[in-house]
Structure 1
Amino acid sequence: MTVNSPPEQGTATEEFRAARDFLLRHREDYDTARAEFDWPRPAEFNWALDWFDTIGERRDGIALWIVDADGSEHQVSFRAMTHRSNQVANWLRGLGVSRGDRLVLMLGNQVELWETILAAMKLGAVIIPATPLLGPADLRDRIDRGRARHVVTTSADAAKFADVPGDYTRIAVGESVPGWESYADSAAAEEGFTPDGPTRADDPMLLYFTSGTTAQPKLVEHTHVSYAVGHLSTMYWIGLEPGDVHLNISSPGWAKHAWSNVFAPWNAEATVFIYNYTRFDAAGLMTQMQRCGITSFCAPPTVWRMLIQADLSTLATPPSKVVGAGEPLNPEIIEQVRRAWSVTIRDGFGQTETSVQVANTPGQAVRPGSMGRPLPGFEVALLDPVTGEPADEGEICLALQPRPVGLMTGYADDTERSAEVTRAGHYHTGDVGARDADGYITYVGRTDDVFKASDYRISPFELESVLLEHEAVAEAAVVPSPDPIRLAVPKAYVVLAGRHEPTRETALSILRFAREHLAPYKRVRRLEFYELPKTISGKIRRVELRGRENELHRSGGGAEGEFREEDFPELTG
């Protein structure tokens, strides 16, 4: 590995590069990195202009490499990506996109996604990432509460906006769509870009909608520093170096995609590699990993669980850096991968609100079940949820003096919630962990009812709200039900209304209704008619239902009278 020597201090770019190079030099020296790392805190910084555009001046490497299921592929150099994003920025400026404007970006893993991300950053526009899985109801929320002035999506998804009101610029990638601007026209724009002025480091850059326990998703606001600079910690966790070819399996629209498909690899001057499969195929994935020389690999536990069911030995040259994120990995999975690839999967912990806070870093011992130790730049405290005092097991919190760079500004348009999570000198994650004598932290669970299904974060409230719209449903509570592949799937406990009977036909009607009104990743996959346990004040005790699900799982099956999605060929056929 060749690491550029630390530059003379002065500009924001030099400050960022010095911090980056320090972490590269101490990639396997955790103690030194923890003790001596300082976050760069420039007053003005635009990562796309001040960092990404400088990479092409030092190396003519590949920035983005996309392989599609049909065998076609696209490689874009850092230099070419700089020129192309300049063109897109100039073209968007001509359409009226300006500093501070909010832009919904709903594209798949295609070159135009990265071009638009960089272009929007150069203009100072605020990106609202959106997964293509979203339907019209979710999009209305993003346009309305996000106060979006522009939308970039594919021609195929343009129809989803037909019933989404608002005075916003409509831009379609692909075939021409009546009433929409054609992204292809950007190819005629100038390749040189001049910003309209400096970008303040605390200017907003990203606005993420994330599930919560309230009626509406939270809006997490990040700046040009909190995510771009903050993900130096993610680069350090993965162990990325210049010239690496990094494959991260994540869908656009989610924070993890920005973590490991934009900022962490490009901070390291590594290649972002994408394999666009239509249906997950472990053997096909490993064939591409071997052919393309993947050196670094990140995947959620759902993918790791499917990979170990295949023959891992078919990958003759496995990546030297492998990590998992999204939920804790079973030690058995880690051991099977270690036996087959002679590398150890390293867990990491972070949130949409932060970059990676806690992780197993390169060169350090990995303890089974532990997600590691605090990353350089983060002071982590475990606080008793009741007393607020330090504890061996408690809520994972970040000290705010000094405030870590890799932390959100707050929840947009919600000062009360922002103040709540940053009370008493700490940012409160809402997650619980246990720390051993050597500082290793093991994840325990959420302090609220949000749960993960596959790698997606699910808010019970959102799913219950949809179920309650069905005429047969009087009450509903959604909890995670253990699943061998997805870790957990949403299960609905339902109290019927009026004269409705707990029959197969009723269950089918409710599941079909949920399927039609929820995005695929939020789908209710199991249902049971059940009297809901409640507190004396009438609140549903989901903790009791979660305990019941875990007990049913330990006993070897579901409850008598439980209905599962796979029981209905008319749903899954």
Structure 2
Amino acid sequence: MRDVWSFNEVSGETAENYDALRAGFDWRVPETFNFGADVIDRRAREQDGPALIWQDAAGSTQRYSYSDLSRLSNKLADVLRSRGIKKGDRVIVMLPRLPEWFIALIGIMKIGAVPIPCIEMLTARDIEYRVSNAEASAAICRAEHTAKFASVQDAIPVRIALGEAESWLDWNGELAKASEQLSPAVVRADDPAIMYYTSGSTGHPKAVVHASRAIYAWRVSAIYWLDLRPGEVIWCTADTGWSKAGTSIIFGPLSCGACAFFYDGPFVPSERLGLLRRHGVTVY
């Protein structure tokens, strides 16, 4: 397999001699880079380990390895591809802090489609604007939020809901039937990989498209700023619709072989220290 990078690069001390480190730094961005295939699938094959710890407010916990994310994202990718979603298509992903958010982003990117992460606080008007502006071909959300898509539903050929919703495909049912085998798309470094929308505080939100080379580069901040290594557990509390969730929850940490802690619960300061202890969080 083409050597996108050596996993061993993220071990050992990185900041003993800053001047030498800075002088010798080289981006070495590859010609092609598919995060789902070149990071998740490769680590699942070569250095599998914990990738995601999820807990909700009630204390329920789920754990996922890189091989779990690889297998499940293949299944979602198969669902999307079989329904006609192809490289370059835009996919709205409006999910809270759930494991399905990880699976959705990875699966979409595996086929070269472009996820648009959105927070659940969006109104029907917000969604209508994004669907139209991005010319979205698919949407993924929880069943209780599908009504927000009513005015644009006919414009979105593929709609997947977590839970049962009329005229929407059921996430669990579709993945249960899908194949775990997938040939990922070839994604060039300058191909679009993910799209975020700005807050829109001075007008309509602006679409910001990040090329695949940006996903590759976010690993660097995870190494040198967040100081992540295999075996580390990071908890970044950013909401799923913001680019910070990309840099510090999924793309950066998983590119380093670290594990992300994902908490779907309210902000209760007195409980945070307990969660840090319980899950062995090393970077917060």
Task: Decide whether the 8 Å contact of 2:96 with 2:264 is kept in 1.
Answer: no
Query: Pairwise mapping of residues 290-301 of structure 1 onto structure 2 (< 5 A)?
Result: 290-297=277-284
Q: Percent identity between the aligned chains?
A: 31
SS at match of 2:55: strand
Contact 1:26 1:32 in 2 (8 A): no
Per-residue CA deviation, residues 259-313 of structure 1 (Å, 9 max, x unaligned), is: 1110111111011101222x3111212111111111111xxxxxxxxxxxxxxxx
Gap change, CA 1:66 and 1:205, over 3 Å in 2: same
Instruction: Report how far residue 165 of structure 1 moved.
Output: 5.3
SS at match of 1:228: helix
Superposed CA offset, 1:207-261 (max 9, x none): 1111356532221111111123333223320111111011111110111111111
Letter in 2 for 1:217: P
TM-score after normalising by structure 1: 0.47
Q: How does 1:127-138 map to 2 (within 5 A)?
A: 127-138=115-126
Give the aligned residue type for 2:281: I
CA distance in 1: counterparts of 2:252 and 2:16, whole angstroms: 17
Q: CA deviation at 1:23?
A: 7.9
1:172-571 matches, cutoff 5 A: 172-184=160-172, 185-195=174-184, 197-211=185-199, 214-277=202-265, 279-297=266-284
Which residue of structure 1 lines up, in the alignment, with residue 43 of structure 2?
55
Q: Which runs of 5+ in 2 are unaligned?
A: none
Which contiguous aligned blocks of 4+ residues in structure 1 show a shift greater than 6 angstroms? none
Q: Distance in 2 between matches of 1:260 and 1:121?
A: 18
CA positional deviation for 1:175? 2.1
Shift of 1:174: 2.7
Asked whether the equivalents of residues 33 and 188 of structure 2 are also in contact (C-alpha less than 8 Å), the reply is yes
Aligned pair partner of 1:169 in 148, 157, 166: 157
Partner of 2:97: 109
Partner of 1:36: 24
Structure that is richer in helix per residue: 2
- 8 Å CA contact 1:140–1:165 kept in 2: the answer is no
Q: 1:148 is matched with which residue?
A: 136
Q: Does 1:83 align with 2:65?
A: no
Q: Deviations over 1:97-149 (max 9, x none)?
A: 11110001100111111111111111000111111110011111100111111
Give yes or no for contact 1:23–1:33 (8 Å, CA) kept in 2: no
Change (3 A) 1:28 1:216: farther
Whole-angstrom CA distance in 2 between matches of 1:246 and 1:254: 17
Give the SS at the match of 1:262.
helix
Change in Cα spacing, 1:15 to 1:85, as seen in structure 2 (3 Å) is closer
Q: Name the structure with the higher strand share.
A: 1
**1:49 positional shift:** 0.4
Report the alpha carbon displacement of residue 166 of structure 1 after superposing the two structures with TM: 4.6
One-letter code aligned to 1:187: A
Deviation at 1:24, TM superposition (A): 5.3
**Residues 68, 275 of structure 1: 8 Å contact kept:** yes
Moved more, 105-114 or 156-165: 156-165
TM-score of the pair, normalised by structure 2? 0.93
Residues 176 and 285 of structure 1: CA distance in aligned 2, closer, same or farther (over 3 Å): same
Cα shift readout 1:419-469 (whole Å, capped 9, x = no counterpart): xxxxxxxxxxxxxxxxxxxxxxxxxxxxxxxxxxxxxxxxxxxxxxxxxxx
Alignment size in residue pairs: 283
Give me the whole-angstrom Cα distance separating, in 1, the residues matched to 2:28 and 2:145: 40
CA distance in 2, matches of 1:96, 1:17: 35
Verify the 8 A CA contact 1:235 1:267 in the aligned structure 2: no
Q: 1:93 to 1:219 in 2, by over 3 A?
A: same
Which of the numbers 129, 133, 139 marks the counterpart of 2:127?
A: 139
Larger radius of gyration: 1
User: Which residue number in structure 2 is paired with residue 45 of structure 1?
Assistant: 33
CA shift in 2, pair 1:70/1:219, >3 Å: same
Q: Superposition RMSD on alpha carbons, in Å?
A: 1.9
CA contact (8 A) 2:89 2:137 kept: yes
Distance 1:52 1:28, change over 3 A: farther
